Structure formats: structure tokens, C-alpha cells
Structure 1
Amino acid sequence: MLFRQHILERIASGEVTLAFRRWKRQPIRGGARLRTARGEVIFGSVQEVDEGSLTEDDAIKAGYGSLAELTDDLQSGEDRNLYRMEIVGLEEDGRIALREDDGLSAEEAGLLAKSFDRWDRANSAPNYHRRILDAIAATPEVSAAALARSLAVDKVKLKRDIRKLKEFGLTKSMSVGYRLSPRGEALLGMISEKGQ
């Protein structure tokens, strides 16, 4: 589910408090959070509704100028149901605060190392995730394709694996390529000190 940038800005200001989408099956539940370029959109109630029940007020709360504008924008399809989602707010992406936290404890580093070991075993590639961090540290802001070539791995796979590292606050995406976050740098320093 995507939101246009101008709608995200209006969610942040509290102007937009509803969203409507047609789906074959409901992917968002009440209480869910959706990461966006502006932060995490937080949803309240999500319910299936009949298009005939929509009002001009619904359209305005969803960021449209009129009901006609809203209904014209809805994806059509006989096998799709219409859902009304209450938007409770927009909060900063929790990964941003996490990646700036370079006060990594030995316990946290140990848990990350266990995750790396588990992923590496699943990939049958010892030290694979450590090598990704090393490569990003050595060559920040190079394209994913160049990074994939240097690691002799498929670009799509590499991007997926870097997303896992990003979830733990270890990397950040740049306009081109990636950089280690302060948290990622701290982890790499701790691993290096242990001679791993």
C-alpha cells in the first residue's frame, strides 16, 4: 500500500485521517503500522464498506477535493472489496532512532551475531553478513550492482539481505548505495576487537 508524498504530508499535519483502497483480500488490520518515506502510518479501525455509503466528508478526510475524485481514484475490479481505514497518526520510523544509537551492549552484539550465524547457515555462506557490512564500510555509497559484484552475489539477493541489516538499524540507504549507521559501525568495531 502506497501513499503519495503530498498525502503523507497531510497525514503528518492531521488533515488526512482516512484512506480507502480496493483489495482482493485485506492486507492491513486495525493497529497496524505501515512504513513510508515520511515515517510509520498508524492505522485505527479497518473495515469493509460499500461504495454507496461514502460521503463528501469521507473524501475530504482522505485528502480528495470531492467524492467523485475519490471514487475515480479507486482501483476497480469485480473481485475487489472496498476498505475504509482510519489513520490515527504518523510517527518517526523506529529504525532511525535505532541506527543512531551507537551504545551497543555486549548482549545486543551477541544477539546480532547469533542472527548473522543463523542467516549465514541458511545461505551456506560463512561470514556472509559480516562481509556485507565490511564491504559497505570499505566502499560506502556505491551502487548495489557494484557491491553485489564485489561480493559475487546476485544483486536482488544482496538488496534483500541489506534490508535485513537495515531492520536491525545497522545500515542506511543513500541516494546511491548504502552506509553503515553509527550502530553498524559500533557493531563492526566490536566484532573486530574480538578478532571475529
Structure 2
Amino acid sequence: MLFKRDVLTAIASGEVDLAFRRWRRPAVRPGTELRTEVGVLLIGEVQAVPEAAVTDRDARRAGFADRDRLLADQRPGEDRRLYRIGVRVTGDDPRIRLRQDTDVPTAELDEIVAELGRMDTRSRRGPWTARTLELIDGQPGVRAAELAAQVGRETQPFKADVRKLKERGLTESLETGYRLSPRGRLVLGRLRERGPH
């Protein structure tokens, strides 16, 4: 379940505490936690509702001026139902702290490098982790599609791989593209010390 940046900001401030989505089946459940750039979002109620039950107040709580604009923003389809979803921020994204952590003992740094090696080994296309870190380090803020094209990859699988690095605190998303985190630069430095990858 994705949110636009301005909606995330409004959720973080408490201005928005509802979301509406038209789905074939719910994509989240009550209690689901989503990590976002404004922190961890907790999903509350997830309830199918008729369009007629949506009020202007509901729309404002979801970040829309009125119910007509909210409904016009929903995905069309006769096979879809409208769901009302409660959302709130419950804490900081733990990846943010991890990204800033560069006080890493040598043994732990070597284990991170070894884990990246295992990810490379499991990959059907061969080693990619160091190459992706190098690519982002050399071109911060460049669109994912452009980076993917440079290494002959489709955009969505490339973005999925970058998310794997982000989970480990090595990259962070920008308004456009990515950059290495302080931790990511530390790990890339260790990879470079070890020679060609």
C-alpha cells in the first residue's frame, strides 16, 4: 500500500488518519505495519464501505477536499470494492537509525559484506549488490529507470533490488532516485578494499 509524499507528511502531522482504496481484496490487514519515510504506519480498521457512506468529513480525513474528489481518485472496476482504512504513525522507521550507524566493528562489517555476497550467489543474474551500490554512489538523485537502463535491467526488478539494500540501511530514497547512506558508504568502502567485485 503506497502513499504519496504529501499524504505521508499529513499522516505524520495527524491531519490525515484515513485512506480509501478500491481493491478486489484488501491489500493490508488491521495491525499491518508499513515502513515509510515519515515513520512506521500502523493500519487500523480495514472495512468495505459503500460509496454512499463516504462523507466529506471522511474525505478531508483522507486528505481530499471533498468526497467527490476522493471517489474520482479511486481505481475503477466493477470487480472492486471500496475500503476505508485507518492509518497512523507509531514510531520512527528503524532503517533511518540503521542508515546513520557507522560505528560498526570490523567483524560486523565483514558479515554485512558476506551477506551481500550470499545475495549475489542466490541471484539468477549473478553479482549485483556492489555494482548497484557503485552505480548509486556515482549518480545520486538519478531516476531509477535511467540507472536500470545503464546496467541493462528492467526498472521494477532494479527497484526491488535497491529496496533490498535499503532494508539493510545501505541506501535511501530521494525525491528522485537514491543515494548511499553513511552506512552504505562505509560498506562500499569495505567492498572496494577487498578488490574487484
* Distance in structure 2 (CA, Å) of the matches to 1:176 and 1:67: 31
Structure 2 segments unaligned to the other structure (5+ residues): none
Q: Secondary structure at the match of 2:71?
A: helix
Which residue pairs with 2:115 in the alignment? 115
* Distance in structure 1 (CA, Å) of the matches to 2:176 and 2:66: 39
Change (3 A) 1:120 1:74: closer
Following superposition, the deviation at residue 40 of structure 1 comes to: 4.1
TM-score, with structure 1 as normaliser: 0.74
Change (3 A) 1:43 1:192: same
**Superposed CA RMSD:** 3.3
Which residue pairs with 1:183 in the alignment? 183
Change (3 A) 1:113 1:81: same
Structure 1 segments unaligned to the other structure (5+ residues): none
| Alpha-carbon contact 2:23-2:83 (below 8 Å) kept | yes
Percentage of pairs with the same residue: 41
| Aligned pairs, number | 193
TM-score, with structure 2 as normaliser: 0.74
Deviations along 1:160-187, one digit per CA (max 9) or x if unpaired, are 4333212211123456654332111222
| Alpha-carbon contact 2:169-2:183 (below 8 Å) kept | yes
* Distance in structure 2 (CA, Å) of the matches to 1:110 and 1:120: 15
Q: Secondary structure at the match of 1:97?
A: helix
* Distance in structure 2 (CA, Å) of the matches to 1:184 and 1:42: 28
Describe how 1:62-77 pairs up with structure 2 within 5 A.
62-77=62-77
Deviations along 1:103-143, one digit per CA (max 9) or x if unpaired, are 12345434423432222112366654234334544x24384
* Residue 20 (structure 2) pairs with residue 20 (structure 1): yes
Change (3 A) 1:55 1:159: closer
Which amino acid counterpart does residue 153 of structure 2 have in structure 1?
A: D
Larger radius of gyration: 1
Which residue pairs with 2:3 in the alignment? 3
